[in-house]
């Protein structure tokens, strides 16, 4: 890579460090640290949601998947976008109205028992660790490729940067890094898409004609089924995509960074436009890479196709554009891991330490200190795991994170808001069952078990046929909620708040403490 | 200062609040509004893999070489944007109702 890449690379680092320096001066309370004091406006939070949401999996992953598998790659775009309707229609406002810092707060607003909060925190930490490990390993490989530095050094650079943002700047720095990244990502994607469209003489329809013969798949490239030959397997993936989003702790946490449910709602509107436009443009990234880079060259760099977008930028715009896109990818990863560290830290410091061990009796100063220590713990643990996982195929970690979110979190979130009879036992049963079923089924799925030696963690025939088990694990989460609730319906748990109160607060956003 | 969520020692009578005609009306109107949209977008989302997986009807060309698969997919995008806008507009009306309920029943 040329000197241009270094200039752009260091410009991104300098800008984000300046943001952190500025944010650090306004981060003093726990609320500042976790939620930027609830001070973000609708558009700021909308951009930050987009920045949080459009991870490397969206930018590098979908571009690569479409370029190699055609329409099957586009399912990810459709799934992740439709997921936004689930968040908007069913979850965003009640969550904002009931919670404070974390998803566990919202469930805890109805079920005060420590085991409920503990289970919710456990799920959050599990999802965060899987997701972050995938991002860090991906980041290490990407930076190694782009700048020719060693893998361990690349992981350390990303890990150190994310810790600096979170430790000093908390949610304020993290949010602004995400906003900057969202702007850079949209710029990069729009430039590439424009250049691709120009190559096709600005004729969107004839582009499809060209793509019929541009890839080894021929016409099948434009149809569903290149990868997903089995429809049940495809539906399982789509369930995880559309429901998983609504259970991702770092996405849900973003709704607490605004002052009320109205602002939370308006931020979803902004982000849905940005994210929607981005996902439409993934077609140009994917088609462009398939046509102008070619499947062989893309696979030669990375078997999963992760380098398709930067390579396409290089072909279309030379070194300067490729460097810019590489820097965008770097910023993308930084912004997402910072958000993940923060939500993992909130589960440890706020839910486990503050609420479970200290019963909520912690001073402001203790809370902030605990949050910083928890960030270090989560950050260091994930860096160490990432250092030892260079050779690991990380794609299954992302699918695992989505699957756990969909199976372990979403049933409890929905039922806490909408089911009158739901109780403490039902919530704990649902969260643990969803978590365990998802973990076990992935462990015996083709993502982990493959008869070809060395392709996956375990050599052998997969016991469970689908790479993504959501079609079984999500119903399991709901079923456990139902059974758990029925078998314990006579028992009275003292820490349960009446459904009337939860319902009233969820619908109106009314809080007694505000009076 | 503590950050414990206030619970158990509530001074409000929520059982009575949720029984008020205003609140029951709000919940009913919200439900009647949201339910058809939620059913529709889930149905639209899962019909796509059923059609692509078990039939070939979406594989015929729609506009030039672009097949109905893509037209269906783009319609999903338009659906997301349209539903989001509808929700936004409707939610403003609910906000007004909520303000009235709080004013009448809580701040009296």
Q: What is the 3-state secondary structure (H, E, C) of A457-495?
A: CEECCCCCCCCCCHHHHHHHHHHHHHHHHHHCCCCCCCC
* 8 Å CB contact of B67 and A510: no
Is residue A31 within 8 A of residue A350, CB to CB? The reply is no
Is B83 in CB contact (< 8 Å) with chain A? yes
Residues A374 and B108: their CA atoms lie apart, in Å, by 44
Backbone φ, ψ for residue A487 (5° rounding): -70, -15
Q: Looking at the predicted structure, is the pLDDT value of residue B6 above 60?
A: no
pLDDT bucket at A6, cuts 50 / 70 / 90: confident
- For B69, which residue in chain A has the nearest alpha carbon? A223
The rounded distance, in Å, linking the Cα atoms of A500 and A420 is: 8
- Mutant choice from A356, A508, A512 vs B, greatest count of B C-beta within 10 A: A508
Tell me the shortest Cα–Cα distance from A224 to chain B, in angstroms. Answer: 6
End-to-end CA distance of chain B: 29
Q: Where are the alpha helices (DSSP H) in B4-20?
A: 14-19
Asked whether residue A496 carries a pLDDT value surpassing 60, the answer given is yes
Main-chain phi, psi angles of A438, to 5 degrees: -60, -45
pLDDT of residue A138 exceeding 70, the answer is yes
Q: What is the structure's pLDDT at B8?
A: 44
- pLDDT at site B10: 56
Structural Rg of chain B based on CA atoms? 22
CATH of domain A3-391: 1.20.1730.10
Does B29 contact chain A (CB < 8 Å)? no
pLDDT at A197: 94
The answer to whether A260 contacts chain B (CB < 8 Å) is no
Given this model, what pLDDT does residue A393 score?
A: 66
How distant, in Å, are the alpha carbons of A237, A436, B80 from that of B52?
14, 32, 20
pLDDT tens profile B33-72: 999 999 999 999 999 999 999 999 898 888 888 999 999 9
Taking residues A157-176, what's their average pLDDT?
A: 90
Task: Say which of A112, A367, A498 has its CB closest to residue B15.
Answer: A498
End-to-end CA, chain A: 59
Nearest to A345 by CA among A163, A146, A509: A163
Q: In the prediction, which pLDDT does A452 show?
A: 79
Q: Over the stretch A360-416, which tens digit does the pLDDT of each residue have?
A: 888 888 888 898 999 999 999 999 999 988 877 666 788 788 999 999 999 999 999
Q: What is the pLDDT of residue B49?
A: 95
Residue whose token pair is 């920045």: A51
- pLDDT at position A333 is 87
Conformational region of residue A111, where left means phi above 0, alpha means psi within -120 to 50, and beta covers everything else: beta
Cβ–Cβ < 8 Å for B70, A208: yes
- pLDDT at position B5, please? 44
- Answer whether A30's CB lies under 8 Å from A371's CB: yes
Instruction: Give Rg (Cα) of chain A.
Output: 22
pTM: 0.90
Within an 8 Å CB–CB cutoff, is residue B33 touching chain A?
A: no
User: Which pLDDT band, with edges at 50, 70 and 90, does A1 fall under?
Assistant: low
Q: Is the pLDDT of residue B2 over 80?
A: no
- Do A30 and B3 make contact, defined as CB atoms within 8 angstroms? yes
Integer Cα distance of A91 and A94 in angstroms: 6
From the list B1, B30, B73, which residue is nearest A74 (CB)?
B73
Q: Is B80 in contact with A276 (Cβ distance < 8 A)? A: yes
**Residue contact B5–A105, C-beta within 8 A:** yes
A374, A121 Cβ separation under 8 angstroms:
no
The 3-class secondary structure across A153-222, one letter per residue, is: HHHHHHHHHHHHHHHHHHHHHHHHHHHHHHHHHHHHHHHHHHHHHHHCCCCHHHHHHHHHHHCCCHHHHH
Instruction: Tell me what pLDDT residue A510 has.
Output: 83
Q: Is A257 helix (H, G, I), strand (E, B) or coil?
A: coil
How many other C-beta atoms are found inside a 10 Å radius of the C-beta of residue B10?
A: 12
Lowest mean pLDDT among A173-187, A201-215, A416-430, A446-460: A446-460
Lowest mean pLDDT among A2-16, A78-92, A212-226, A362-376: A2-16
Task: Note whether A158 and A337 are within 8 A (CB).
Answer: yes
Q: Say what the pLDDT of residue A243 is.
A: 95
Position with higher pLDDT, B54 vs A493: B54
pLDDT in tens, A88-126: 999 988 988 888 888 888 898 899 888 999 999 999 999
Q: What is the pLDDT of residues A288-336, one digit of tens each?
A: 999 999 999 998 887 878 889 989 999 998 888 888 888 888 888 888 8
Q: Could you give the C-alpha distances from A469 to A128, A307, B37, in angstroms and in order?
A: 19, 27, 27
Q: What is the ipTM of this complex?
A: 0.90
Q: Which whole number is the average pLDDT over A479-485?
A: 96
Cα A58 to chain center, whole Å?
10
> Tokens 């996902």 map to which residue?
A279
Give B87-104 pLDDT, tens digit per residue. 999 998 999 889 888 888
| A258 three-class SS | strand
Closest listed residue to residue A194, CA positions, set A313, A70, A110, A279: A313
Classified as helix, coil or strand, A512 is helix
* Chain B: residue whose CA lies nearest to A359: B4
Mean pLDDT of chain A: 88
Question: What average pLDDT does range A136-154 have in this prediction?
Answer: 83
- pLDDT confidence tier of residue A513, bands split at 50, 70 and 90: low
What is the C-alpha separation between B40 and A313, in angstroms, rounded? 38
Q: Are strands A458-459 and A449-450 parallel, antiparallel or unpaired?
A: parallel
The number of CA neighbours under 13 Å toward the Cβ of A384 is 6
The per-residue pLDDT for B4 is 41
Rounded to an integer, the average pLDDT of A206-221 is 89
pLDDT value at A464 more than 60: yes
């Amino acid at each position: 890579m040329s000197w241009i890449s270094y200039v752009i690379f260091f410009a991104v680092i300098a800008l984000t460090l300046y943001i952190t320096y500025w944010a650090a001066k306004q981060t003093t309370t726990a609320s500042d640290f976790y939620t930027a004091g609830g001070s973000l406006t609708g558009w700021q939070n909308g951009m930050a949601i987009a920045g949080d949401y459009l991870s490397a999996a969206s930018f590098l992953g979908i571009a690569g998947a479409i370029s190699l598998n055609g329409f099957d790659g586009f399912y990810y775009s459709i799934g992740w976008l439709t997921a936004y309707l689930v968040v908007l229609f069913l979850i965003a406002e009640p969550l904002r109205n009931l919670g404070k810092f974390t998803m566990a707060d919202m469930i805890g607003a109805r079920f005060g028992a420590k085991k409920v909060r503990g289970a919710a925190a456990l799920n959050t930490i599990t999802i965060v660790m899987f997701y972050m490990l995938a991002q860090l390993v991906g980041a290490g490989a990407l930076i190694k490729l782009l700048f020719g530095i060693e893998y361990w050094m690349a992981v350390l650079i990303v890990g150190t940067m994310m810790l600096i943002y979170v430790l000093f700047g908390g949610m304020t720095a993290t949010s602004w890094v995400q906003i900057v990244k969202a702007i850079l990502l949209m710029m990069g994607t729009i430039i590439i898409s424009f250049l691709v469209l120009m190559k096709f003489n600005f004729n969107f329809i004839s582009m499809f004609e060209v793509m019929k013969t541009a890839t080894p798949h021929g016409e099948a490239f434009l149809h569903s089924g290149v990868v997903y030959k089995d429809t049940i397997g495809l539906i399982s993936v789509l369930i995880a995509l559309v429901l998983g989003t609504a259970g991702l702790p770092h996405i849900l946490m973003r709704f607490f960074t605004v002052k009320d449910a109205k602002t939370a709602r308006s931020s979803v509107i902004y982000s849905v436009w940005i994210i929607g436009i981005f996902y439409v443009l993934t077609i140009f990234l994917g088609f462009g890479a398939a046509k102008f880079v070619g499947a062989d060259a893309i696979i030669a760099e990375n078997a999963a196709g992760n380098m398709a977008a930067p390579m396409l930028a290089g072909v279309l715009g030379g070194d300067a554009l490729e460097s810019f896109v590489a820097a965008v990818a770097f910023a993308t990863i930084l912004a997402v891991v910072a958000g993940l560290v923060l939500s993992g830290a909130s589960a440890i410091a706020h839910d486990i330490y503050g609420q479970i061990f200290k019963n909520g009796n912690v001073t402001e100063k203790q809370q902030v200190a605990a949050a910083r220590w928890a960030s270090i713990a989560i950050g260091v643990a994930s860096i160490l795991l990432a250092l030892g996982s260079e050779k690991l195929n990380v794609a299954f970690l992302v699918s695992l994170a989505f699957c756990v979110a969909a199976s372990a979190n979403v049933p409890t979130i929905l039922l806490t808001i909408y089911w009158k009879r739901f109780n403490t036992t039902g919530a704990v049963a649902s969260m643990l069952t969803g978590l365990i079923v998802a973990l076990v089924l992935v462990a015996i799925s083709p993502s982990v078990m493959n008869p070809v030696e060395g392709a996956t963690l375990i050599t052998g025939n997969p016991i469970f046929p689908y790479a993504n088990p959501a079609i079984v694990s999500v119903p399991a989460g709901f079923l456990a909620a139902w059974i758990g609730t029925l078998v314990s319906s006579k028992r009275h748990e003292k820490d349960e708040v009446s459904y009337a109160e939860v319902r009233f607060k969820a619908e109106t956003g009314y809080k007694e403490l505000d009076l | 200062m503590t950050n414990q969520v206030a619970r158990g020692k509530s001074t409000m009578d929520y059982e009575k609040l949720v029984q008020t005609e205003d609140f029951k009306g709000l919940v009913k109107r919200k439900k009647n509004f949201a339910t058809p949209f939620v059913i529709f977008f889930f149905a639209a989302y899962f019909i796509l893999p059923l059609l692509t997986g078990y039939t070939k009807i979406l594989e015929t060309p729609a506009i030039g070489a672009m097949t109905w698969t893509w037209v269906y997919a783009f319609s999903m995008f338009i659906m997301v944007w349209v539903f989001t806008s509808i929700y936004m507009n409707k939610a403003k009306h609910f906000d007004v109702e909520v303000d009235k309920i709080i004013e009448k029943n809580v701040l009296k």
